[in-house]
Structure 1
């Protein structure tokens, strides 16, 4: 059945917030807006696209998308003991294991981001996440003792990973966590599959990571809402338009706990072994690659309001910073973001 107008709002994941606002559909020339979604990676996914004559049936499109998501889960999930990466994580030091090409690709990206951030970003922080209560093997959210922290930090360090042919090897008992990359990779892979099927007007989302291409049924661009980083309600802070770009938001305000009047978030600096303590509440990145947007938004959040800003400027990354102050939030965006966002700032009510 074809409908004239519908509205869908997506809440993001991974500490950030994004939304799809005022998606228009209608009937004309045999085209229609199709949408489907479901659970994935402990959250959900959503696909919206313009179906035109001669394209595969929506059931076939959905089957292809879910095949990709199932493969990502089998290869990269740290919440199932039989995934490829968890089998590697269970290996002792000085061991290697054959890995699928996508896993090795994500390790290479993670190594690059670690080197560029001088080790603040690190794929091997899973033992720290578990220790502080944020990881898949965590028991409770608590500030660990100095002794426990020192012990676990010996199991962290991207320099202990190396790729040898088709194998991933470890020089210490490190564990890899793809939480900052896997969803972005899934979105890129889904987008490539949609394009291969002849679908060129779509918005693909998985656990809050988004990529859009083409136009909606009425010819207008896909518009995304960036939400204000608040715990109590969802408030649109900025509307942006996307075409052949991905967007990712990372924030410290969705996954955190408080102890003795101090706030501890799930964003970790591998240098300190502790959650970040700066004033950057969230950062949004626009990039042609959802994989890179996913990783870079996490990296910039870890680096903080000044180091992250400098990194974005050096690497020409479109970034939208929301900084926490005593009187509220301050927004800071760079020229690359303004050029790529395709929309004017949302006015405050």
Structure 2
């Protein structure tokens, strides 16, 4: 996935040796990479992306499941979440095949948007089909899916206490050797250094954070985030700096954090509140950063642990 992973766990009776467990975990990571990577030309997703409009291809169950998950998130958010924005990312210079950051014209954006949207995809049995030259990108949910995939394997191998991190998507279960809970920090959205905004205790939950403070560029005093609004074809312009979502499904947390980041501080908070999503919002103000938690987040964590 072009990034990192980390697994800390408490060995129990019947759990495998570290070297054996590491090999199993890395085999799962390699499998996901082969199926879903947009950074390697021989992945099954890249091969699908190269197909012309009107084509179909037999795809793994995991790929079809993520397409269905993305389509559901897209429907639920009226298109704020979209797995087909890859051509727009390339156009703005954020994609794996892009030739540098740039601000495209309105006509260029409109031309690319013609092949963006879940309406161009359909599943027929084991085949994924496209009615336009759609390019899929699972970067907004693949890591969360992978965390859940590895967690399921850990359960099969009698590993019930662990802290798992795949490219920044995190899941924890059980307790540390001293009986205390696993604690993770939600990072403050700062460009200059890593600072903990809030510390949470996790058990059986996944957490995902999306933000615009790492991957962006500036032109003529304007900041352009790598988070794009599929409906405008352009980077988000609101003041939401970061949003974290906690959910029993890390895949769902991963997708929802992106969805809420696109919707912004007002629409996103209203969406999360109505849907019962445990989310923590960090918004830029003229006086610095302001934080706000949904009722579901507050019920689960209260005030959390301030660093």
TM over 0.5: yes
Which residue is 2:192 aligned to? Answer: 232
- Residues 326-345 of structure 1 aligned to structure 2 (within 5 Å): 326-341=286-301, 344-345=304-305
Which residue is 2:178 aligned to? Answer: 218
- Residues 80-91 of structure 1 aligned to structure 2 (within 5 Å): 80-91=40-51
Q: What is the Cα deviation at residue 342 of structure 1?
A: 6.7
Q: What is the Cα deviation at residue 237 of structure 1?
A: 1.3
Which residue is 2:275 aligned to? Answer: 315
1:195 counterpart = 2:155: yes
Q: What is the Cα deviation at residue 276 of structure 1?
A: 0.5
Structure 1 residue corresponding to 2:249, chosen from 289, 301, 305: 289
DSSP 3-state at the match of 1:43: coil
Which residue is 1:204 aligned to? Answer: 164
Which residue is 1:254 aligned to? Answer: 214
- What per-residue deviation string (whole Å, max 9, x for no partner) do you get for residues 57-78 of structure 1? 1111001100110000000000
DSSP 3-state at the match of 2:136: coil
Structure 2 residue corresponding to 1:140, chosen from 100, 119, 123: 100
Distance 1:199 1:342 in 2: 29
Distance 2:35 2:181 in 1: 34
Distance 1:105 1:53 in 2: 34
- Residues 58-69 of structure 1 aligned to structure 2 (within 5 Å): 58-69=18-29
Distance 1:156 1:334 in 2: 31
Distance change in 2, residues 1:298/1:244 (3 Å): same
Distance 1:313 1:344 in 2: 18
| The 10-residue stretch of structure 1 (337-346 or 132-141) with the greater mean CA deviation from structure 2 | 337-346
Which residue is 2:263 aligned to? Answer: 303
Distance 1:82 1:135 in 2: 17
Which residue is 2:84 aligned to? Answer: 124
8 A contact 1:122–1:270 mirrored in 2:
yes
Greater per-residue helix proportion: 2
Distance 2:90 2:137 in 1: 11
8 A contact 1:250–1:301 mirrored in 2:
yes
Distance 1:234 1:164 in 2: 46
8 A contact 2:33–2:43 mirrored in 1:
yes
8 A contact 1:50–1:217 mirrored in 2:
yes
- Residues 29-178 of structure 1 aligned to structure 2 (within 5 Å): 41-178=1-138
Q: What is the Cα deviation at residue 219 of structure 1?
A: 0.3
1:241 counterpart = 2:241: no
Distance 1:325 1:281 in 2: 10
Poorly superposed stretches of 4+, deviation over 3 Å: none
Distance 1:55 1:218 in 2: 19
Q: Give the unaligned 5+ runs of structure 1.
A: 1-40
- What per-residue deviation string (whole Å, max 9, x for no partner) do you get for residues 140-162 of structure 1? 11101222212111121111111
DSSP 3-state at the match of 1:122: coil
Structure 2 residue corresponding to 1:263, chosen from 220, 223, 242: 223
Q: Give the unaligned 5+ runs of structure 2.
A: none
Instruction: Give the number of equivalent residue pairs.
Output: 307
8 A contact 1:246–1:288 mirrored in 2:
yes
Q: What is the Cα deviation at residue 343 of structure 1?
A: 6.3
Q: What is the Cα deviation at residue 53 of structure 1?
A: 3.7
- Residues 178-193 of structure 1 aligned to structure 2 (within 5 Å): 178-193=138-153
